[in-house]
Amino acid sequence: MTARANTGSNLIREWRINALQGRFHIDGHFYERLERFPAVLCDQHGYVLFETREEYENSPYLKIGQKVNVASHIGDISCMPGYIQKN
């Protein structure tokens, strides 16, 4: 699957992630909000799993507004604790 065709839902299936919802961004730093948990934020190489809404909303690595941004001092999700590399 090419990165352009990736979606959070496709990667949940392809990588066999136990999650109800996933969001994908090729560079891993800008996402739509997550609403159903467990949920994942994915980039082209891996993902970060959030078991609960509280874990997601209280993450010091995310800035959650209308959209979700990875905090600038982190860079992207691959620098977050718990990042699972898949390829």
Per-residue pLDDT of the chain (87 residues; tens, 9 = 90+): 444 468 999 999 999 999 999 999 999 999 999 999 999 999 999 999 999 999 999 999 999 999 999 998 889 999 999 999 998
How confident is the model at residue 6, as a pLDDT? 83
pTM of the shown model: 0.91
Beta strands in 1-87 (DSSP E): 21-24, 30-31, 39-42, 46-50, 62-64, 68-70, 84-85
Instruction: Tell me the CA end-to-end span of the chain in Å, nearest whole number.
Output: 12
Report d(CA 58, CA 45) in Å as an integer: 24
Report d(CA 86, CA 16) in Å as an integer: 11
Judging by DSSP bridges, how do beta strands 39-42 and 21-24 pair with one another?
A: parallel
